A and B are shown apart, each in its own frame.
Chain A
Amino acid sequence: DGGITQSPKYLFRKEGQNVTLSCEQNLNHDAMYWYRQDPGQGLRLIYYSQIVNDFQKGDIAEGYSVSREKKESFPLTVTSAQKNPTAFYLCASSIQGATDTQYFGPGTRLTVL
């Protein structure tokens, strides 16, 4: 997990509510990422940010929003517009460099009831 923390480990919300997932890193990494993982499948990129106050959509950004006000933090909001929000959400970070190896946090499992 390195110095990447995600909280909480498990999160339950009612349908129609927005929910914000936390991701913090103390690795001094420039870039941060959010991925979604569904059971038995690989990871899909939601959003990524290369520097503070800048971020780009990934492959499945619809129904999600992010902010990057601090280098250490990259919170993800799952909005009510996301049709199937129940999933395992993973945050990662990397240093801007030759190969940009990404290091992942422990993940947050979101269940929408």
Chain B
Amino acid sequence: DAKTTQPPSMDCAEGRAANLPCNHSTISGNEYVYWYRQIHSQGPQYIIHGLKNNETNEMASLIITEDRKSSTLILPHATLRDTAVYYCIVRVAYNNNDMRFGAGTRLTVKP
């Protein structure tokens, strides 16, 4: 079972920031938060991950609350090509069989 809760769908206007929430209220101290996205009929693409601190890379920013029970993935300037299903996953490092993908959030970026 997935350890996260995400809204099933969200819309975002092109050029605006997309903020995708994820609840993981039962997260353990040694579990990381990962985000992947999947464009239709393609393999999932890694976006970003974090443990406690906020993280930023060329694709997105990850904001993790202080109690670590929720997080938000931010796409700062969404484009039409960002339309995809976004998966939030929590997993223990070094545990190869612990990648649990739920249904994710279907983000639609509109012109």
Contacts and interface: CB of A to CB of B under 8 A. Distances in A.
Partners in one complex: yes
Size band of the interface chain B makes with A: 20 to 34
B96 A106 contact: no
Contacts, number: 61
**Main SS of chain B's interface residues?**
loop
A42 B43 contact: no
A102 B87 CA distance: 13
17 contacts: A31-B96, A35-B101, A43-B44, A43-B101, A56-B96, A90-B44, A92-B43, A94-B96, A100-B94, A100-B95, A101-B34, A101-B46, A102-B99, A104-B44, A107-B41, A107-B43, A109-B41
- The 7 closest A-B CB pairs, nearest first, are A42-B101, A104-B43, A43-B101, A104-B44, A42-B102, A107-B43, A99-B93
